[in-house]
Structure 1
Amino acid sequence: MTDHNEHPNQFALLRQRRFAPFFWTQFSGAANDNLFKFAFTVMVTYQLSVAWLPPAMAGLVIGALFILPFLLFSATSGQLTDKLPKTQVIRFVKNLEIAIMAVAALGFLTDDVGLQVPLLLACTFLMGLHSTLFGPVKFAYLPQVLHERELTGGNGMVEMGTFVAILLGNIVGGLLIALPGVGRTYVAVGCVALALLGRLAAQGIPQLPATDPQLRINWNPVSETWRNLKLAHGNTVVFRSLLGISWMWFFGAVFLSQFPSLAKEVLHGDEHVASLLLVVFSIGIATGSLLCEVLSRRQVEIGLVPLGAIGMSVFGVDLYFALRGLPASSLLGLSEFLARPAHWRVMADLVLLALSAGLYSVPMYALIQLRSPATHRARIIAANNILNALFMIASSLIAGSLLGAGFTVPQVFLFVALANAAVGLYIFLLVPEYLLRFIAWVLSHFVYRFRVRGDAHIPLGGPAVLVCNHVSFVDAILLMAASPRPIRFVMDHRIFRVPVLGWLFRLAKAIPIAPQKEDPAAYASAMAAAGQVLREGDLLGIFPEGAITRDGSLQAFKGGVAKILAQARADGLAVPVVPMALTNLWGSYFSRIESGGAMVRPFRRGAFSRVGLNVGPALAAQAATPEALQGAVAALLAQQPGQ
């Protein structure tokens, strides 16, 4: 696996064989899906007269037929992806796409309406099946070829590519089918050409071994769907993330489905205005997806999820107010629409709302990929696709019910934005890791300018002990911001009495410890809990000085860490110990100073003061004596910037 430091950013992945052919394969598939669907919808709506498929129903029927395979076959496709080499599955799916598009081309070219529409409806269902088979591969492939610190960037590129492909497919499909006399021929040629280009790109995807070749396929979609959902439910963080992603699709589907009605009935614009709204929304999603790597320091930063959720609600509510006061007018063309300043607020809300959705979804996808077992990853992604389909169907039913009850389109948007705030709060309280990482992200970006050096020394898997100097009341939060994995901290019991911070540390399941002479029972309980953290394969954070420094200097390390390591050796665990040093934090608001306590004078060192964390190579457990660890941390403290 290529080291994540070998390229500067996510765009460089497009020059690498492990990513580029896969990216263009999924891009061409998403573009073809939407070129075909939109061209077919426009043709049935404007160019044909089909008594049993009126124009008002055409979009709903085509959309439902496309989603149906996700409900029927996602469980099976997840099993196939885990059992077979992913390259083999991808190439089979692209071969299937060529066959489907060849049949679709015949459908577009025939003049027999009685044959044409049923044939294209069948192809719609089959293209849904094509996407169903490709879905688990799409997200299970990335963690097999990308380093953990590349996952956010890789997912951001895929999410961006998907929405750009959807946008281009819709635009090109609409333009081609509208060409007088030759439109259907051009659509037929375009669909087949995109399928062939996708298959050509798939040929360049490197061979990968199957993750679970001994898996026995269960062909019963009902029982396997239930089994996949139970499998995903076994990991609380993963399952709640699946629900969070499915909610994002619910949220987005409400907005996307109402764009034509919003453009015509509320904004008083023509069909070009409706297309503009789709362009603005797609640009927002793509931008948010690409920003994730920049904002996350190239790690899986789920602290961005609450930020995205806040943006989705704030800009959704503002969109309601921006739409509420628009005056009635005659039908506006694109230039007339853009000439009105009030419409720019609407577009700003849409692009920021979509950008927030990108920030919300990409880290969740990366977290699912990172936390799911490799042997079951595709089946968990398949469970996500099933939930996505169910949530999108629910969004159509709920939005339709609200509109039928007399709600206006802006009121539907307001309802969904407020519901998003409630859903977000519910998820973040159920899975505190999201909220904690968000607080850590805010602290490390907006209170301090936080720079981490040597973070590659933090193990990406297995148990480890992190030892660090203790400078302030927010040391643990800064270490959370630096680590790609959750950390359970052993902390002085007195810090739990500090308002707000005490609540946060209890939320983080920090382990309170008291001196053995002061409270032997609390000390023994803390040591037992620390040992359990390591037995479960997690990270344990310790501040061996035992208390926050009062003069800024490094204090002597106590022997608690040695006892924890001795217990780990007795349990048969080889636990590395990673030394860390927080720098330039002494004298800031959350640290003590010689002339007074902590948190007594805000901004006493100014806003955005620069602090750092230096991480050193791990020490083997047998070499990690308190003296050796203190020496390693002291050496890290002495490092100059850039070392």
Structure 2
Amino acid sequence: MAAEARSHSQFALLRQRRFAPFFLTQAIGAFNDNVYRQAIIGLLGFLAVGSATTTLYASLAPAVFIVPFFLFSAIAGQIAEKYEKSRLIRIINVFGIAVMAVAAIGFAAQSLPVLMIALFFTGVHATLFGPVKYSIMPSVLKPEELTGGNGLVEMGTSVAILLGMLAGGGIFAAGHANAPYVAAGAVLGLAVLGYLMSRAIPAAAANAPGLRISFNPFPESLAMLRMARKQLAVRNSILGVSWFWFVGTVLTSQLPAYAEVHMGGPRLYLFALALFSIGTGIGSVLCEKLSARTVEIGLVPVGAFGITAFLLDLYFARTGTLPDTNAGLHAFLAQPGAVRIAIALAGVGLSAGIFVVPLFALIQSRTPKAELSRVIAAMNIQNAVFIVVAALGSLMLQRWLGWSTPQLFLALAIANALVMGWIFSIVPEFAMRFMSWVLVRSLYRLRVQGIENVPDEGAAVIVCNHVSFMDALILAGAIPRPVRFVMYYKIFDIPVMRWIFRSAKAIPIAGGREDPALMRRAFEQIDAALAEGELVGIFPEGALTRDGAMAPFKSGVEAILERRPVPVIPMALRGMWSSMWSRRDGSLGRMRLPRRLRAHVEVIAAAPISGEAATAESLEAQVRALRGSAA
């Protein structure tokens, strides 16, 4: 198992049938959507319809595409909840073929109204696919694979959008007379390819097969939005995803003007977009490595800070205009400050990927499975609102107040800092996990084994040896679900750490002789947490080890299980005895510095044990076996 954990890579999912066909299906869909939309723009130039008509259709197209998200997301969420997902994806792709057949007729006939009708139904197709796309992943991926799987999907989507825009624009770039027919064949052929790929997606059970579908979109949309607000962390993760779309909409809508005025020419737009898209893809796939294969929302503040920092740098990199407005890539790179602009654009994308992937993973892992598709649908409605507000807001600020593109980037950087500060203040878990992530990842190299033994949902007790003051933070960083740790009240009250422990809803406890009332309250809180289906983590030794050896487990764990016999997961920490946070060398009156920076630490979990059969003695033996000779 250790060798498997060390060699695992998220890219291995691309060789597995449970994930690869789905990944390729959604990537082909994103590619085709952008080939189609960019080809419509190319057709406008091909037909030389005039600037007024071009402006009309260019302004109309985004609205036509986004309207279905408001009208049909509620229905799409219910359908995705009720039916088996692989079959539903195939049906949606058959619908996509029909839509692209209409689009092909529009290209062949060079009819812009027909293409607008097809674009509307392309939006319907995207609306139907969205809830299935994100709700199928928890069905086919293990909890420790959610971050990596979402990272691959976001990377694939970013690259597919970029390549689709290049391909769609390239069809008409040469001005060949057959370009409309090439566009018709391309969009229809890609739709057929996406359907063929979807046929290889394995079955994924319906989340709520007994659900009765209501076709009235407005009350159902409100009901889904309320459903998405039930859990504070999920609600604000959805808000974070919508904000990601807000930032992305402002940035990408301004890139054409920024490239022309501040980079040296309109031909540099695609280069700027490529930097942002590739950066987003790299940031997305980095999340699994940075999170050590857990749903680590501590990365969200990292991404938020990066977005603001790189947007600020993009503003200060160049606020004036350039005299040359027809420069190519080579001429741009020869300009002073060009590399800084390129790094800033890629940095914003990189930070956006790091920001959004943990949010998707949290939504998928924390939302009840029977509600996930509808919560995703609610998120899509909110995303659409943020996209519209971003587009209209940018337009009004530029036309009414005369703001330049760099000024918009400056305002976006400030707004991002304020919005993220507000979210992190009302959901302390984000900031708490960030501090935990920084502390653990800066001091240790964390390796996790057997974490899949922690159940995805439902109550359970985690028992572990107690070596250092950092034990709870390390376990919290290794376990995908939130854990309510029971800890000695004096550790709970350590300055700075106290805020982290309180934010994590840790349960302080004292000995029966030391503070009977606190001990009684602790056991009541433990039982209440288990009754709510939460994970509770305890250190049954009752104190930190003073010599590196394990002490006998106390009977408190048996008292917990006697009241509520939930499954117990034995876990062990290895490598923490040499930490400055342990009691080693305590006789010298000081904490010991680590032997080397980022020492290796292991977290090992065994299979759950029935609460009825577990005893303090048997659990101690299990943890000793997991710990081995390493302290």
- Using the size of structure 2 for normalisation, the TM-score is 0.94
Inter-CA distance 610–529: structure 2 relative to 1 (3 Å threshold) = same
Amino acid at match of 2:67: L
CA distance in 2, matches of 1:318, 1:143: 37
> Is the contact made by 2:575 and 2:630 (CA closer than 8 Å) also made in structure 1?
no
Q: How many residues are aligned here?
A: 626
Inter-CA distance 479–174: structure 2 relative to 1 (3 Å threshold) = same
Deviation of 1:323 (Å): 2.2
CA distance in 1, matches of 2:597, 2:272: 39
Deviation of 1:383 (Å): 0.6
Corresponding residue of 2:330: 335
> Is the contact made by 1:315 and 1:353 (CA closer than 8 Å) also made in structure 2?
yes
Amino acid at match of 1:367: L
Q: Deviations over 1:152-197 (max 9, x none)?
A: 2222221111111111111011110223212212111111111111
Deviation of 1:244 (Å): 0.9
Inter-CA distance 200–454: structure 2 relative to 1 (3 Å threshold) = closer
Correspondent of 2:174 among 179, 185, 194:
179
Q: Which moved more, 1:159-168 or 1:463-472?
A: 463-472
Amino acid at match of 2:134: F
Is residue 2:72 matched to residue 1:73?
A: yes
Paired residue secondary structure (1:466): strand
Corresponding residue of 1:322: 317
Corresponding residue of 1:592: 583
> Is the contact made by 1:590 and 1:599 (CA closer than 8 Å) also made in structure 2?
no
Corresponding residue of 2:231: 235
CA distance in 1, matches of 2:30, 2:120: 15
Deviation of 1:354 (Å): 0.6
Paired residue secondary structure (1:552): coil
Corresponding residue of 1:611: 601
Is residue 2:154 matched to residue 1:159?
A: yes
Corresponding residue of 1:265: 261
Inter-CA distance 54–598: structure 2 relative to 1 (3 Å threshold) = farther
CA distance in 1, matches of 2:126, 2:513: 64
Is residue 2:523 matched to residue 1:533?
A: no
Inter-CA distance 410–120: structure 2 relative to 1 (3 Å threshold) = same
Inter-CA distance 25–633: structure 2 relative to 1 (3 Å threshold) = closer
Is residue 2:31 matched to residue 1:31?
A: yes
- Displacement over 6 Å in runs of 4+: 4-7
- The equivalences for 1:617-636 within 5 A come to 617-636=607-626
Deviation of 1:22 (Å): 1.8
Corresponding residue of 1:429: 425
CA distance in 1, matches of 2:75, 2:81: 10
Corresponding residue of 2:364: 369
Corresponding residue of 1:571: none
Point out where structure 1 has 5 or more consecutive residues left out of the alignment. Answer: 569-573
Deviation of 1:600 (Å): 5.0
Corresponding residue of 2:207: 211
| Identity in percent | 46
CA distance in 2, matches of 1:598, 1:525: 33
Deviation of 1:386 (Å): 0.5
Deviation of 1:41 (Å): 1.9
CA distance in 2, matches of 1:240, 1:49: 45
Point out where structure 2 has 5 or more consecutive residues left out of the alignment. Answer: none
Deviation of 1:504 (Å): 1.2
Deviation of 1:316 (Å): 1.5
Deviation of 1:536 (Å): 1.1
Paired residue secondary structure (1:324): coil
Paired residue secondary structure (1:459): coil
> Is the contact made by 1:443 and 1:478 (CA closer than 8 Å) also made in structure 2?
no
- The equivalences for 1:130-529 within 5 A come to 130-180=125-175, 181-270=177-266, 272-324=267-319, 328-404=323-399, 405-529=401-525
Paired residue secondary structure (1:532): helix
Amino acid at match of 2:49: S
Inter-CA distance 609–203: structure 2 relative to 1 (3 Å threshold) = closer
CA distance in 1, matches of 2:569, 2:240: 33
> Is the contact made by 1:45 and 1:54 (CA closer than 8 Å) also made in structure 2?
no
CA distance in 2, matches of 1:32, 1:578: 47
Amino acid at match of 1:72: L
> Is the contact made by 2:21 and 2:200 (CA closer than 8 Å) also made in structure 1?
yes
Corresponding residue of 1:18: 18
> Is the contact made by 2:138 and 2:146 (CA closer than 8 Å) also made in structure 1?
yes
Deviation of 1:330 (Å): 4.5
Q: Deviations over 1:107-158 (max 9, x none)?
A: 22225xxxx1211111111111111111111111222222222222222221
Q: Which moved more, 1:537-546 or 1:458-467?
A: 458-467
Amino acid at match of 1:29: G
CA distance in 2, matches of 1:221, 1:157: 32
Q: Which moved more, 1:410-419 or 1:204-213?
A: 204-213
Amino acid at match of 1:185: Y
Inter-CA distance 349–178: structure 2 relative to 1 (3 Å threshold) = same
Inter-CA distance 228–560: structure 2 relative to 1 (3 Å threshold) = same
> Is the contact made by 1:41 and 1:62 (CA closer than 8 Å) also made in structure 2?
no
Inter-CA distance 546–7: structure 2 relative to 1 (3 Å threshold) = closer
Amino acid at match of 1:8: H
CA distance in 1, matches of 2:392, 2:81: 33
CA distance in 1, matches of 2:569, 2:494: 28
Deviation of 1:623 (Å): 4.0
Correspondent of 2:569 among 554, 564, 578:
578
Amino acid at match of 1:38: Q
CA distance in 2, matches of 1:368, 1:321: 35
> Is the contact made by 1:87 and 1:206 (CA closer than 8 Å) also made in structure 2?
yes
Amino acid at match of 2:100: M
> Is the contact made by 1:45 and 1:58 (CA closer than 8 Å) also made in structure 2?
no
CA distance in 2, matches of 1:358, 1:637: 36
Deviation of 1:6 (Å): 12
> Is the contact made by 1:269 and 1:334 (CA closer than 8 Å) also made in structure 2?
no
Inter-CA distance 322–599: structure 2 relative to 1 (3 Å threshold) = farther
CA distance in 2, matches of 1:5, 1:552: 26
Q: Deviations over 1:66-111 (max 9, x none)?
A: 1111111111111111122222322222222222222222222225
Deviation of 1:633 (Å): 2.7
> Is the contact made by 2:306 and 2:347 (CA closer than 8 Å) also made in structure 1?
yes
Corresponding residue of 1:103: 102
Correspondent of 2:550 among 527, 551, 554:
554
Q: Which moved more, 1:548-557 or 1:218-227?
A: 548-557
> Is the contact made by 2:151 and 2:285 (CA closer than 8 Å) also made in structure 1?
yes
Q: Deviations over 1:561-601 (max 9, x none)?
A: 22111111xxxxx4222222322222422222334588756
Deviation of 1:501 (Å): 0.8
Amino acid at match of 1:110: A
Amino acid at match of 1:608: R
CA distance in 2, matches of 1:13, 1:600: 43
